[in-house]
Amino acid sequence: MSTPRPARGRILAVTSGKGGVGKTFVSANLAAALAQRGERVLVLDADLGLANLDVVLNLFPKITLHDVFTGKTPLDEAILPAPGGFSVLLAGSGLVEYSRLTPEVRDKLLEVIEQVAPRFDRILLDTGAGISDVVLYAISLADEVLVVATPEPTSLTDAYATIKVLATQQQRHAVKLVVNQVSRSGEGRVIRGQLQQVVDRFVAPQMQDTTAGIKLELLGEIASDPAVREAVQKRRLMLEAMPGCPAAQGIGAIAEKLRT
């Protein structure tokens, strides 16, 4: 007897404290890994003004979220198939009107997510980097948050700042962490431990429920791998172009842990 599907897909916001850490790369390849495991997955490009999911996937969309928001196109026509067996809702790039959270942007984004949530098992919100109003609002619509960081000191500082805002403003008591571009096995675990120590010391006392604190769950680490750069330059999903490479194996392990 098959397990019944949930009435509404789980919404996971994939975010980062700073740009350039591989957040969109992780979103796209994680979606492919989850689709390989039988999930119906939608990636929604929630980086509304500086979208680049289409570039990573080598898609040239004629219809974007902008067309849905303005009522020019029905939502169904904007949901596109992507390489890797998942679906995407792409945003436009260079649209200044989406760089700040207006009531209209807030209402339209919520409306779109409410419409797609029952149709997929999992929705990944590929947010912008940083802690702007638009990014934080997109994250607030998610059931879970995944912060992507690298071992670089600036990335870790910005990841900490993001986690602090999520804990104090959204009262989140759990945040998932992926450490990208690690140079040795186990580096992600060390970084998670360092971040957890700082969070326990400086963030937990500022939360409304100081007894609960905030728990960082390491979903996994992704090796620094020349195959990643090669796949990005070719605009191909790494899981399709080089499925056996170390970075692809790391993504697969993250997908497995996310499903448990």
In this prediction, residue 5 carries a pLDDT of 54
Q: What average pLDDT does this structure show over 155-168?
A: 96
Residue 3 domain-assigned (yes or no): no
Q: Which of 147, 130, 126, 137 is CA-nearest to residue 53? A: 126
Residue 131 domain-assigned (yes or no): yes
Report how far residue 228's alpha carbon sits from residue 180's, in angstroms, rounded to the nearest whole number. 11
Does the pLDDT value for residue 243 go beyond 50? yes
pLDDT digits (tens, 9 = 90+) for 55-64: 899 999 899 9
Question: Where does the pLDDT of residue 52 fall: very low under 50, low under 70, confident under 90, or very high at 90 and above?
Answer: confident
CATH of the domain at 230: 3.40.50.300
Question: Where does the pLDDT of residue 1 fall: very low under 50, low under 70, confident under 90, or very high at 90 and above?
Answer: very low
pLDDT digits (tens, 9 = 90+) for 208-221: 777 778 999 999 99
Q: What average pLDDT does this structure show over 2-29?
A: 87
Q: What average pLDDT does this structure show over 14-26?
A: 94
Q: What average pLDDT does this structure show over 150-176?
A: 96
Residue 73 domain-assigned (yes or no): yes
Range in 47-61, 87-101, 151-165 with the lowest mean pLDDT: 87-101
Does the pLDDT value for residue 189 go beyond 80? yes
Residue 4 domain-assigned (yes or no): no
Number of domains comprising the chain: 1
Does the pLDDT value for residue 232 go beyond 50? yes
In this prediction, residue 6 carries a pLDDT of 56
DSSP 64-94: -HHHHHTTSS-HHHHEEE-TTS-EEEPPPBS
Report how far residue 175's alpha carbon sits from residue 190's, in angstroms, rounded to the nearest whole number. 16
Q: Which residue range forms the structural domain that includes residue 255?
A: 10-259
Report how far residue 121's alpha carbon sits from residue 8's, in angstroms, rounded to the nearest whole number. 7
pLDDT digits (tens, 9 = 90+) for 109-132: 999 999 999 999 999 999 999 999
Residue 96 domain-assigned (yes or no): yes
Q: Taking the model in full, what pTM does it have?
A: 0.94
Q: Detail the DSSP E strand segments found in the chain.
A: 10-16, 41-46, 79-81, 87-89, 122-129, 144-149, 174-182, 215-223
Please report which helix (H) or strand (E) contains residue 32, including its range: helix 23-36
Q: What average pLDDT does this structure show over 175-194?
A: 98
Does the pLDDT value for residue 4 go beyond 70? no
pLDDT above 90 covers a percentage of the chain that reads: 81
Q: Which two tokens stand for residue 150?
A: 């690298």
Q: Which of 112, 12, 89, 76 is CA-nearest to residue 43? A: 89
Q: What average pLDDT does this structure show over 142-158?
A: 97
Report how far residue 145's alpha carbon sits from residue 124's, in angstroms, rounded to the nearest whole number. 10
Residue 61 domain-assigned (yes or no): yes
Does the pLDDT value for residue 2 go beyond 60? no
Over the chain, what is the mean pLDDT? Answer: 92
pLDDT digits (tens, 9 = 90+) for 62-106: 999 989 998 999 999 999 999 999 999 999 776 667 777 889 989
Residue 119 domain-assigned (yes or no): yes
Report how far residue 157's alpha carbon sits from residue 155's, in angstroms, rounded to the nearest whole number. 5
Report how far residue 105's alpha carbon sits from residue 122's, in angstroms, rounded to the nearest whole number. 22
Residue 2 domain-assigned (yes or no): no
